[in-house]
Amino acid sequence: MSRSQLLDLWHDVHRKAAPARIRREILIPFLAYKIQENAYGSLKTSVRAELRRIAQRLESNPAAPLGRSRLKAGTRILRQWRGETHEVFVTESDYKYRGTSYRSLSAIAHRVTGTRWSGPAFFGLNTSKSGGHNDSA
């Protein structure tokens, strides 16, 4: 579509004129999102709340890592280590491992391995591989 056609579509979709001097490259994804939102519904309230939380965190400290959002209570995490299965239960406030409460997955990973680990990495919750450690150690 031409820029003029995109601006007309913007007006149809948003019921107001597009921002002055908005580039075509910006118009297209914003229009695509709004059209999808009209067709399929907007974001869930929980997703909006999480996005607001992330935005506030970034506003207060732009260099802060975003981290991973907390696992839902009731989640069960399994990890094989040296031929043994280790099971962790996520609660509202902590993690349960073999009848003991822990504040972090890293503390549990330390108990299991005897060495310092990133808990999310040890339990396979990170997308990247944890460096240097393996199951057969």
Question: Is-contact 95 88, C-beta < 8 A?
Answer: yes
Encode pLDDT of 69-109 as tens digits.
Answer: 578 889 999 999 999 999 999 988 889 999 999 989 999 99
Q: Is the pTM of this model over 0.85?
A: no
**What percentage of the chain reaches a pLDDT higher than 70?**
87
Question: What per-residue confidence (pLDDT) applies to 53?
Answer: 85
Neighbours of 34 (CB within 10 A): 15
Q: Where are the beta strands (DSSP E) in the chain?
A: 76-81, 84-90, 95-97, 100-102
User: Residue 80: what pLDDT?
Assistant: 94
- From residue 4, give the alpha-carbon distance in Å to each of 11, 16, 30, 36: 11, 14, 15, 21
- 35-57 pLDDT tens trace: 999 999 988 898 888 889 888 88
